[in-house]
Structure 1
């Protein structure tokens, strides 16, 4: 199993992969994690978030979730946080609470 430490000069890169329906975070050229999404009307459902074991403990999930929520906001959508990590992130960062869909799009 390869050891991973994010080099200090490597800033994680965040991308939207529309073809796969996911937000992605890369360290160098390596996919470090992703958050899947499904669009339901004006709501974007976030059912699952993964950061691979080799990249745990580096704050990548927080960066990935913030990126996803910022993208949802920029698109004028609401979010359905089915993933517990996303729901927890929103609880800890109430500036994103207004994005939560209350219309039952889940």
Structure 2
């Protein structure tokens, strides 16, 4: 299985994305996000192109975002259906999620 490389990009003052790449595949997977308040982002959209399908890209992106939230002390509003569905299956993540845009952890 090919190694997935993930980076975080801030696209402007309010928006950014986590980007996944796999060597040899000319495509990118992503989770886009919006800064919603102090220490709060929303996970807006998860996109994985067909060329990267079935390689665990969405899960790797989500895990990277969760690790980033733990390391940097922010919480996530799960707007994206994929992130919301995964959160519903993992009660142990509850301290990393919120529904309140201005809530501090």
TM range (shorter): 0.7 to 0.9
Runs ≥4 residues deviating over 6 A: none
2:42 aligned residue = 45
Instruction: Provide the aligned C-alpha RMSD in A.
Output: 1.8
CA contact (8 A) 1:51 1:60 kept: yes
Aligned length, in residue pairs: 97
Q: Report SS of the residue matched to 1:86.
A: helix
CA contact (8 A) 1:44 1:72 kept: no
**Unpaired runs of 5+ in structure 1?**
1-7
Separation in 2, partners of 1:94, 1:75: 20
Structure 2 residues not aligned, in runs of 5+: none
TM-score, length basis structure 1: 0.81
Cα distance in 1 for partners of 2:92, 2:55 equals 22
Q: What TM-score do the two structures reach when normalised by structure 2?
A: 0.81
- Are 2:44 and 2:78, in contact at CA under 8 Å, matched by a contact in 1? yes
Q: Does 1:16 align with 2:8?
A: yes
Q: How far, CA to CA, are the matches of 2:60 and 2:84 in structure 1?
A: 14
